[in-house]
Structure 1
Amino acid sequence: MPEETAFPNPWALDPRIRRTGDTYYFAGELLVADPDMREMNTLLGPLRTLRTVADDPLAGIVTRVAVPAGDDGVETDLPALVSSMRGLARGGPRVGLNHAFAANSGAPITGQPKLHGGLATEPLPVPEQPTAAGATECRPVRVAVVDTGLDPAALTMPVFGRPLRHGVHELDQVYLDSATRRIGLMGGHGTAAAGVVARYARHCVLMSVQVLSVHGITDEVNLAAGILRARDAGAEIISMSLGGVFEGDTPPLALELVLDSLPAETVVVAAAGNVESATPNFYPASRDGVISVAAVDTTGAAAVPAGFSNTGNWITVCAPGVRVHLPYVTGTWDHGPQPLTFAGQVAWSGTSFATPYVAARIAAATSAGQSCRDAADILLKGLPDPFPGYGRYLEAPGDFTYPAP
């Protein structure tokens, strides 16, 4: 079990983020279902529409609107406003917060409250690169890793070589300072996650979608747009090592609508989170139909649930997630007690890294003429259930994790 370590609070790295309970959201913004904008304008008066990018990827689905502060300069209480809108007769307009989401190498952080996002452990330098696992006889499934993107320098590593095929890789920013190669808090996170897929689904078509910042943070609009890019690129499996908590019983609006738009055969795999919680509203993992992934610790004499992993009857499957051996970036990571120097490989913990392993195993199990959804159902139904509250257990080869010193 990895020890707790003091790390920065990732939510504090973006001054726009606010908190209500365990839910984090962006100040001054609401999301409204496009068909409900007229009703929303009638209720609140004209609101300035904010577009995310020039071609407005959520047009026709959701509009992001600005809610200015009052004349006294005090920010509008958006959670209260959303609650009041939803409480109107006939249900009111479909409106929600612009939720914040974070990479899920997250766990309790010493000296801070349990945060839904952040680091489970610091990444640990190791001397060897992970090797490519043996090729499997499966069709070239298109797998999208929705994360921080991919560092192009990693493509020279053996794990990303043939017979792996590549789609479009959106770039991982990696560094806070490229001149000194100072790695961001979550720089390289998407590269590591993609490396798991590359290692265990050797015949897949791998693509990377960049939604998380170098700090490991994104907003709901950006995440929803990234999922749409994965969909439009033909992704059959979407792997997301990220998540966030929503309040009440109404899931994040934009994500619900976008995930509803995916083809029925698309498999979505998402990290269950890492705050030792049984919370049933950790999204997107807790959404019906999403394969939610908890973490198991296999570094001891026997496999046991990882102490940082979320749990509950909403968890689908668990897989090893402690000291996972991963391709990484080069540079210095200095967010912990002491600077760490990396040369392209890492041992790192979190449901972040159990998640792409499950995605990879589903891809590798998909035969010609078979959908990934059918392959996933067959694979998961055949697994044992030794850890109540953590889903069925998908074992990994011994070299998936790096030995403890």
Structure 2
Amino acid sequence: MAPQRFHEQFDQIQRSMPDVPLAMGPDDSSEFMYEKGVVLARDGEEARVVEDTVRTHFTAATGLVADHVRRAGPETNRTGITRIQVGDPGHGDRRGDRAVAGALRALREAEGRAGRRLVSRNHVVSIAVNACPGDEPVPAPLTQRPNPAAAEGVHDADTAVGVLVIDTGLMHDYRSYPLLAHTQGDAQVKETDDQGILQQYVGHGTFIAGLVAAVAPNTDLTVRGTLNDAGAILESDFGAKLFEAVDENGWPDIISLSAGTSNGRTDGLLGVDAFMQELREQGTLLVAAAGNNGSATPFWPAAYASLPEYEDVVLSVGALRADGEFGACFSNHGSWVKVYAPGERLTSSFTGFDAPVPYVYQHSTYEACRYGFTYVCTCQAPRHTGVLSEQGATAKADQVMFEGFAHWSGTSFATPVAAGLIASHMTAHKEADPRVARRQLLAANTEFAEVRGAHVPALVPPTWRPAPVVQLASGA
């Protein structure tokens, strides 16, 4: 059964995609969300095989209708993916889609013969997933230094490392933060609602850009608003949007990506397969967030780092808690997560530099850690009541004012810290190849942390200030 937080986020993402009926998967769990009534297949012969096989499978005995099976969208040359409708998207509810599940079962034998996957759900790729990133932003006073603080160094247009952030867009007042003077990109769409209150996730990309700039001053930062719509996008669209992001300015040295999804598999996302293959041929390094499900289930695209052909192409990043000694409670983990970086209660640029802006919390905190940890974590503190959590109740959601900086937690923010450290290494060692810089940085690293009993590499900026954690009981 999906936890309350996941249902709250499901409702929010569904409202941002009113024309796309969504379901939870698999089977009313909180692993992922996907489009009802639709599956994905590669263009051409494989799409035909999927259609024919599903039609044959959908007989009266299954209770499913073969007439529903048809192309649901135009074939695309760049991503090589076709949407195929296999059922009525209006049937069923959020707990799952029998037609999609039946289509996946129908193709198992054909996939065995082909030796590779032929069909996939159309997953929702999101910056949220089930932990909102790790928490919601908390105002930080302008008198408090960012954390990590700005590293020494200057921007040099001739040697600056190109970093592309694929996320939400830039807030209107981002240039009021001096570290972002050399940042360009897309504007955040509709920062506030009709009452002038900040919408959830809108400052995500600006916060990330501030972290990269603080850790690596000699960077040319570009922020693309690929995830402006509540931080979510369908897998069928995501691959095309990734191509658009790199086509705009060319392939950068480093891509920082703080979004993804699990899919219950160990072979990646069908919708981004073409992009990942082209990425492999480029010199770009993809630094990707491991996700905030507190789970060992692979989270894509970050988990491509565990596939041999992408070992040097993708770096997956988990989050350390505030003291840097252990993994944050919300961070995904497992052998597919290659490094960890500070990701709990970081301080960076947000919005409100020009004029204070109100924000109303969406999710209530919990009495105890959702993941069973015994330190005072972002599940519990700082305390607030959220509007999505208290529907039908008398409790009033908490409202705060942002005046520039924010504290925020998530693997979303550990990721740009790691990307910044690689960029900084490139500058310091005059290394032009980000993949070589990644290998050098990890080989020279001497910092480690404990995550679920395993000792893992920890990438920690010199300017990051660890904070003590409050332990409620013995253990971590």
> Could you say whether these structures have the same fold, taking a TM-score greater than 0.5 normalized by the shorter chain as the test?
yes
| Alignment correspondent of 1:384 | 446
Equivalences for 1:146-157 in 2 at 5 Å?
146-157=166-177
CA distance in 2, matches of 1:208, 1:80: 40
| Alignment correspondent of 2:8 | 9
Contact 2:325 2:449 in 1 (8 A): no
Pick from 179, 184, 187 the counterpart of residue 202 of structure 2.
187
3-state SS of 2:240 partner:
helix
Contact 1:239 1:359 in 2 (8 A): yes
Contact 2:76 2:82 in 1 (8 A): no
Q: CA 1:96–1:6 in 2, change beyond 3 Å: closer, same or farther?
A: closer
Q: CA 1:60–1:197 in 2, change beyond 3 Å: closer, same or farther?
A: closer
Pick from 126, 131, 148 the counterpart of residue 102 of structure 1.
126
Deviates more, 1:353-362 or 1:230-239: 230-239
Q: What runs of 5+ residues in structure 2 fail to find an aligned partner? A: 15-20, 56-68, 364-384, 386-397, 471-476
3-state SS of 1:251 partner:
coil
CA distance in 1, matches of 2:7, 2:49: 41
Contact 1:294 1:391 in 2 (8 A): no
| Alignment correspondent of 1:110 | none
CA distance in 1, matches of 2:5, 2:118: 39
Q: What runs of 5+ residues in structure 1 fail to find an aligned partner? A: 107-114
Deviates more, 1:249-258 or 1:370-379: 249-258
CA distance in 1, matches of 2:230, 2:316: 23
CA distance in 1, matches of 2:25, 2:230: 21
Superposed displacement of residue 245, structure 1: 1.0
> Is the strand fraction higher in 1 or 2?
1
Q: CA 1:249–1:397 in 2, change beyond 3 Å: closer, same or farther?
A: closer
Q: CA 1:30–1:378 in 2, change beyond 3 Å: closer, same or farther?
A: same
3-state SS of 1:304 partner:
coil
Contact 2:139 2:405 in 1 (8 A): yes
| Alignment correspondent of 2:38 | 29
Deviates more, 1:16-25 or 1:395-404: 395-404
- Name the Cα RMSD after superposition: 3.1
| Alignment correspondent of 2:24 | 19
Pick from 113, 123, 141 the counterpart of residue 90 of structure 1.
113
3-state SS of 1:260 partner:
helix
| Alignment correspondent of 1:269 | 287
Superposed displacement of residue 352, structure 1: 0.9
| Alignment correspondent of 2:276 | 259
Equivalences for 1:86-235 in 2 at 5 Å?
86-88=108-110, 90-91=113-114, 94-103=118-127, 115=130, 117-128=131-142, 130=146, 132-135=150-153, 139-161=159-181, 164=182, 166-167=183-184, 169-173=185-189, 175-177=191-193, 179-232=194-247, 233-235=250-252
Amino acid at match of 2:334: G
Contact 1:309 1:350 in 2 (8 A): yes
Contact 2:339 2:456 in 1 (8 A): yes
CA distance in 2, matches of 1:390, 1:150: 36
Q: CA 1:400–1:259 in 2, change beyond 3 Å: closer, same or farther?
A: farther
Contact 1:136 1:364 in 2 (8 A): no
Q: CA 1:231–1:157 in 2, change beyond 3 Å: closer, same or farther?
A: same
CA distance in 1, matches of 2:117, 2:48: 9
| Alignment correspondent of 2:71 | 48
Number of residue equivalences: 379
3-state SS of 1:347 partner:
strand
Amino acid at match of 1:127: P
Deviations 1:85-115 (A, max 9, x none): 24326338722111112215x6xxxxxxxx3
Amino acid at match of 1:118: C
3-state SS of 1:247 partner:
coil
Pick from 75, 81, 84 the counterpart of residue 103 of structure 2.
81
Q: CA 1:26–1:376 in 2, change beyond 3 Å: closer, same or farther?
A: same
Which of structures 1 and 2 has the larger relative contact order (alpha carbons within 8 angstroms, sep 6+)?
1
Per the normalisation by structure 2, the TM-score is 0.71
Superposed displacement of residue 255, structure 1: 1.5
Superposed displacement of residue 340, structure 1: 1.7
Equivalences for 1:292-371 in 2 at 5 Å?
292-299=316-323, 303-330=325-352, 331-334=357-360, 335-336=362-363, 337=385, 338-367=398-427, 368=430, 370-371=432-433
Identity of aligned residues (%): 27
3-state SS of 1:303 partner:
coil
Superposed displacement of residue 44, structure 1: 4.9
Q: CA 1:235–1:221 in 2, change beyond 3 Å: closer, same or farther?
A: farther
Amino acid at match of 1:80: G
Deviates more, 1:320-329 or 1:27-36: 27-36
CA distance in 2, matches of 1:370, 1:306: 33
| Alignment correspondent of 1:396 | 461
Amino acid at match of 2:153: A
Contact 1:209 1:226 in 2 (8 A): no
Q: CA 1:86–1:176 in 2, change beyond 3 Å: closer, same or farther?
A: farther
CA distance in 1, matches of 2:37, 2:468: 47
Superposed displacement of residue 399, structure 1: 4.8
CA distance in 2, matches of 1:63, 1:325: 42
CA distance in 1, matches of 2:171, 2:460: 28
3-state SS of 2:403 partner:
strand
Superposed displacement of residue 320, structure 1: 0.8
Superposed displacement of residue 180, structure 1: 3.0
Structure of higher CA gyration radius: 2
Superposed displacement of residue 189, structure 1: 0.8
3-state SS of 2:107 partner:
helix
Deviates more, 1:225-234 or 1:195-204: 225-234
CA distance in 1, matches of 2:223, 2:448: 33
Amino acid at match of 1:10: Q
3-state SS of 1:291 partner:
strand
3-state SS of 1:152 partner:
coil
Superposed displacement of residue 398, structure 1: 4.5
Amino acid at match of 2:179: V
3-state SS of 1:191 partner:
helix
Superposed displacement of residue 136, structure 1: 5.7
CA distance in 2, matches of 1:90, 1:8: 38
Contact 2:447 2:459 in 1 (8 A): no
Superposed displacement of residue 343, structure 1: 1.5
Superposed displacement of residue 349, structure 1: 0.9
Contact 1:195 1:326 in 2 (8 A): yes
Per the normalisation by structure 1, the TM-score is 0.83
Superposed displacement of residue 342, structure 1: 0.8
CA distance in 2, matches of 1:384, 1:278: 25
Amino acid at match of 1:66: Q
